[in-house]
Structure 1
Amino acid sequence: MAKTVLITGASSGIGLAATVAAAEAGWTTIATMRDTSKADALHKAAAEAGVADRVHIKRLDVVDPELVTACIDEAITEFGQLDALVNNAGAGQVGTIEQGTVEDVRATMEVNFFGVVNTTRAAMRHLRASEGRLITVTSVGGVVGQPFNEAYCAAKFAVEGFMESLAPVAATVGVSVTVVEPGAVASAFVANVGLDLPAMLAAAGPYAPALQAYIDRTTKSFGNAQTPAQAAAPIIEALTAEQPAFRVQTSDWARQFAGTKLADLDGSAVLALTNTWVR
């Protein structure tokens, strides 16, 4: 019987690419998204890849614990077991705390951290039963704090700490845990942040020069971004490897960037690097 994986945030970007790739690898793939009316791109990609029969689209809002539980229970009823969960759903947030609100931070944490907590909690007993895989897409922003990404990086740092703490405990019951850390990815995720850059710059006051420098640098980095398919490839490797690593970066640049932090005991190397992003 084919193994079953549930992937969150599958309407676009890495989630869509991972869904198609998992189905191509022979997995029964449950592709979830908050708004199933946005599934056309996935339907088209799955059909073009010849795997539409292995892709099953379901509505799931990760911030709603009851909906999360209902979706996973429905998947178990329909497919018998859950062999892997890929936590991919997320949302960006750009700004600095003096000019934002605590509510902005809470909303970012709700999607990017508590959404992962909700899905992981609901899936764990099923993953334990199948001795399955728990894979979470974080970000290099979960390793290196980045200017004007305070809330987003805080959420991704939290996810990394959560998963790093869970990994040895999960291993005692047969569940492997992996975090996948992309760098810049050319996907709808960037557009979904919904920034009005001229308005942000006009309202930035004393932070305007730093924000302009950050925007200029970030625009250039996304000009050399990975494709969603390239970023999704390590997810499929983690699904199928005999012993997947705990932490995986999706590109040489991401490995170098994350490595700067992981070897930086006093923080000076990271700050020397990120200070150049705002000057």
Structure 2
Amino acid sequence: MSAPTALITGTSSGIGLAIAVGAARAGWRAVATMRDVSRSDALRRAADAVGVADLVEVRRLDVVDPASVSACVAAVIAEHGRLDAVVNNAGAGHVGTLEQETVDDVRAVMEVNFFGVLHVSRAALPHLRASRGRLVTVTSVGGVVGQPFNEGYCAAKFAVEGFMEALAPVAATVGVTVTVVEPGAVASEFVANVGVDRDAAVAQAGVYAPALRAYLDRTAGAFAAAAQSPADAAAAVVATLTDPEPAPRVQTSTTARQFVGAKLADLDGRAVATITAGWLV
């Protein structure tokens, strides 16, 4: 039998790159998609280094462009005849607070992190129904716990979590398994891609400057001290592709499990409010 086929978004670096390589090592044909295929060199080198280059196939897909999504999915079906799994990994970080950014800024975050997931999932679902496949979405602990100066990002990730939690029982009636995977801090280009100049951001933050300074310093320290490697985070995602009965919600580390667990056990919100308030002093 031919290898099962998984389409993975956002694979030019970080977790997505590691997921594509890890899936190929687990015997999947990894259709590794990215907005700019000229950035695929690192992925190709990583796949070649572990002997799975023949199972990693790079294709262009821009999650915010429905035509791009439809064209990519159609090409995969035309070439391979089936689609057994989708991993929604593409996303973009964002730091900001409501009074100092526009609604359009927040809308742009939602387009990538929420509506991008919907575009890909909607195009893939008919084919996942046919294969009784899996829909896996990489969210974040920020999809469970609201975090200071991450309002737009957390809103998008909360939306993804709610959408997938609601979709899961419906999809199960037609044979599709839905899982969300929640990383915590991961040492990847994702953080760099947020594009925050710490000193400039603090200088422009006005009354929020002390809190933003404390938040940025705390976050930099957390990533330096406890960030998980992309490969370790990706391993949890790949496991959902092979687990006979994957859980609807998966965290990628002990730290992520503890953080998410604090929220899910916090009925009145005070415990989480105490935790996150402590990041701003």
Calculate the TM-score normalised by the size of structure 1. 0.99
Which of 244, 251, 254 does residue 252 from structure 1 map onto?
Answer: 254
Structure 2 counterpart SS, 1:265: coil
Structure 1 match to 2:239: 237
Whole-Å Cα distance in 1 between the matches of residues 35 and 115 of structure 2? 15
Structure 2 counterpart SS, 1:136: strand
Whole-Å Cα distance in 2 between the matches of residues 41 and 103 of structure 1? 33
Structure 2 match to 1:92: 93
Could you tell me how far 1:195 is from its partner in structure 2? 1.2
Moved over 2 A (4+): none
Could you tell me how far 1:194 is from its partner in structure 2? 1.1
Whole-Å Cα distance in 1 between the matches of residues 105 and 69 of structure 2? 23
Whole-Å Cα distance in 1 between the matches of residues 47 and 239 of structure 2? 19
Deviates more, 1:187-196 or 1:243-252: 187-196
| Counterpart code for 2:155 | A
| Counterpart code for 1:76 | I
Could you tell me how far 1:90 is from its partner in structure 2? 0.1
Deviates more, 1:192-201 or 1:223-232: 192-201
| Counterpart code for 1:173 | V
Structure 1 match to 2:206: 205
Structure 1 match to 2:268: 266
Whole-Å Cα distance in 1 between the matches of residues 10 and 92 of structure 2? 10
Structure 2 match to 1:193: 194
**Deviations, residues 20-77 of structure 1 (Å, cap 9, x unaligned):** 0000011011000000011010010000010000000000000001110110000000
Whole-Å Cα distance in 2 between the matches of residues 194 and 47 of structure 1? 31
Structure 1 counterpart SS, 2:246: coil
Could you tell me how far 1:184 is from its partner in structure 2? 0.2
Q: What RMSD, in angstroms, separates the aligned Cα atoms of the two structures?
A: 0.5
Structure 2 match to 1:105: 106
Structure 1 counterpart SS, 2:6: strand
Structure 2 counterpart SS, 1:44: helix
| Counterpart code for 2:238 | I
Structure 1 match to 2:138: 137
| Counterpart code for 1:249 | Q
Sequence identity percentage: 68
Whole-Å Cα distance in 1 between the matches of residues 38 and 190 of structure 2? 17
Could you tell me how far 1:196 is from its partner in structure 2? 1.5
Structure 2 match to 1:225: 227
Could you tell me how far 1:198 is from its partner in structure 2? 1.3
Structure 1 counterpart SS, 2:57: strand
- The alignment status of 1:119 with 2:120, answered yes or no, reads yes
Number of aligned residues: 279
Whole-Å Cα distance in 1 between the matches of residues 173 and 84 of structure 2? 16
Structure 2 counterpart SS, 1:237: helix
Whole-Å Cα distance in 1 between the matches of residues 203 and 75 of structure 2? 48
Whole-Å Cα distance in 2 between the matches of residues 231 and 271 of structure 1? 27
Structure 2 match to 1:46: 47
Calculate the TM-score normalised by the size of structure 2. 0.99
Whole-Å Cα distance in 1 between the matches of residues 243 and 231 of structure 2? 18
Whole-Å Cα distance in 2 between the matches of residues 236 and 91 of structure 1? 21
Structure 1 counterpart SS, 2:130: helix
Structure 2 counterpart SS, 1:173: coil
Whole-Å Cα distance in 2 between the matches of residues 204 and 2 of structure 1? 52
Which of 268, 277, 280 does residue 275 from structure 1 map onto?
Answer: 277
